[in-house]
Amino acid sequence: MEARVTVLTLGVKDLEKSVSFYRDGLGLPTEGIVRREFEHGAVAFFDLAGGLKLALWSQVDVAHDTGLPLDPPSSTSSTIGHNVSTKEEVDAVIDAAGRAGAEIVKAPATTFYGGYAGYFRDLDGHLRDVVWNPHLLAPAD
């Protein structure tokens, strides 16, 4: 099997607010919410680097589709890494997230591996790490 991740889906409490956070607050490109005509189908897709897409889908709809109970997310069960090319980009992304309503969990600082990183939680508590790593630079698009 060839492992290929093409879509990262986040279950969110309020789809409209989360779309606004990622589109208006973080500046990610999207066509907005699509597939509203389907029960449990409303979703928003954001284009990320390398062909990866971020999807936002209501937690209620994820629970319905999977048959799993609606559980609260744990911020420490996973993180979504946002690798950038400079320390200044780390500061800019963390700042934009804070202005958009994110909780800044850890302000950007030098890391043990010689990089620079900070953490924020989005409106639904999903933990994001914004990282500049001199040993693993983000590829240019």
Q: Which CATH number belongs to the domain containing residue 51 in this structure?
A: 3.10.180.10
Token pair in block for residue 137: 């630079």
Identify whether the C-beta of residue 107 lies closer than 8 Å to the C-beta of residue 118.
yes
Q: What is the pLDDT along the chain (141 residues), one digit of tens a residue?
A: 666 778 889 999 999 999 999 999 999 999 999 988 888 889 999 998 888 899 999 999 988 988 888 887 777 777 888 889 999 999 999 999 999 999 999 999 998 888 999 999 999 889 899 999 887 765 565
Listed residue (139, 29, 119, 26) closest to 78, CA to CA? 119
Query: Cα–Cα distance between 117 and 133 in angstroms, integer?
Result: 8
Asked, for residue 41, whether it belongs to a domain, the answer is yes
Task: Report pTM.
Answer: 0.81
Q: Which of 38, 64, 90 is the last residue of a domain?
A: 64
* Separation of alpha carbons 54 and 7, rounded Å: 6
Q: Domain residues for 20?
A: 7-64
